[in-house]
Amino acid sequence: MNEVQAANGRAPAPGLAREYVRVDRVTKKFGDFVAVDDVTLTIGQGEIFCLLGGSGCGKTTLLRMLAGFETPSAGAIFIDGQDMAGIPPYERPANMMFQSYALFPHMTVAGNVAFGLEQERLAKAEITRRVGEILDLVKMAPYTKRKPHQLSGGQRQRVALARALVKRPKLLLLDEPLGALDKKLREQTQFELLGIQERLGVTFVVVTHDQEEAMTLATRIGVMDRGKIVQVGTPTEIYEYPASRFVADFIGSVNMFEGRLVEDEPDHVRIESGELGGTVYVDHGISAAPEATVWTAIRPEKINIGRERPEGPDNAVRGVVKEIAYMGDISVFLVRIDSGRMVRVSRPNIVRQADDRISWDETVYLSWHASSPIVLTQ
């Protein structure tokens, strides 16, 4: 998580930003199917807001309503304070980068990028200048005369971005912008996107199903599930303080144990979990009814693994290592604890070669700090 925060490198201060987009109780139905269900959202100027969710959760529909390709069944959308009802896409102050890039196949790279400016009836010289500028920015200047089918996926993506940015929109909508790129190129492009966004100060709304992409890009993330926004927050908030089991499970990996609240004090709680085969002590209070069923979620990287049993009655269980996956930077252990559940633990490989590395079928103890468990009531 620390790396991701460092990569963001910006103070998430959405409260201070001027409101630029407001989605007010928007619902979109296709026949009986509710694609977007009563969504309310505000996005500040200069923000990179990520709509994150699985396929069919309504994130793309929401984006398409911002662009004007779909009309809300109910509710209103305001961009820069102006009600967007009845305003066609070609009159909106937003530009979209399509998932398929939607480059015009019969036009060259320069033709594609110039298209938007030609619609504004700018002078030829002005168009040429701005097209050249933006193609320089996305490092596509050497390819101006090529047709889209002569470009690689990454190059097409840059052209699509340039085509959307050349209009100098206040709001840029990106639909799975990096989906078609391989991992290395994706990471590189993510940082380039951030650089461009910082330089131009455009408000980005990004739709993605890739949580890593959302984490790297976003100042704030809106997690969507079945047409609803289930949580809005900074990447850190979403990861460390998920509001529900869905969010905890969707973002990153997590070990979840159902349990019962046995001690509920303002400064700590204790949870008894049959699934865990032990008790969980949490060093902060939560708001839930006593004896209520709660879920304890512990991230794999926050679990220690060792051969010695830690002191104290709580926050420790015994198990047997079943699988070890060496991923280079980290190793992931799958441990079958005494209750029978599999628990995922990840440890950074700090030392190049440890002599007494934990091995398959070893009996180990898993433990965690009392601040680590996330207690969820829904």
Which CB, 88 or 201, lies closer to another protein?
A: 88
* 106 near another protein (CB under 8 A): yes
Helices 124-137 and 109-119 cross at an angle (nearest 10°) of: 130
As a residue count, the chain comes to 378
Which member of 86, 90, 125, 308 binds another protein (CB under 8 A)?
Answer: 90
Minimum CB separation of residue 163 from another protein in Å reads: 7
Distance CA 118, CA 130 (A): 11
**Segment contacting another protein (CB under 8 A): 96-104, 181-189, 225-233, 363-371?**
96-104
Residue 120, both tokens = 């504004």
Minimum CB separation of residue 87 from another protein in Å reads: 12
Which member of 9, 86, 88, 340 binds another protein (CB under 8 A)?
Answer: 88
Which CB, 86 or 340, lies closer to another protein?
A: 86
Residue list 47-76, contact with another protein (CB under 8 A): 67-69
Largest CA distance in the chain: 76
Report how far Cα 160 is from the mean position of its chain's Cα atoms.
22
Which CB, 173 or 193, lies closer to another protein?
A: 173
Distance CA 208, CA 98 (A): 12
Distance CA 76, CA 32 (A): 20
Which CB, 86 or 90, lies closer to another protein?
A: 90
Which member of 119, 188, 363, 378 binds another protein (CB under 8 A)?
Answer: 119
Pairing state between β 269-273 and 255-264 = antiparallel
Minimum CB separation of residue 119 from another protein in Å reads: 4
Contacts of 162 (CB under 8 A, 6+ apart): 113, 134, 135, 137, 138, 140
- Site size toward another protein (CB under 8 A) is 25
Minimum CB separation of residue 103 from another protein in Å reads: 8
* 120 near another protein (CB under 8 A): yes
**Cα dihedral sign, 132-133-138-139:** positive
- The answer to whether the CB of 310 falls within 8 A of the CB of 322 is no
Which CB, 145 or 307, lies closer to another protein?
A: 145
**CB-based burial label for 353 (10 Å; 0-12, 13-18, 19+):** exposed
The one-letter amino acid at 125? A
**Segment contacting another protein (CB under 8 A): 101-109, 232-240, 320-328, 370-378?**
101-109
- Under the rule (CB under 8 A), what is the footprint of another protein? 67-69, 88-91, 94-96, 98, 100, 102-106, 115-116, 119-120, 149, 163-164, 167
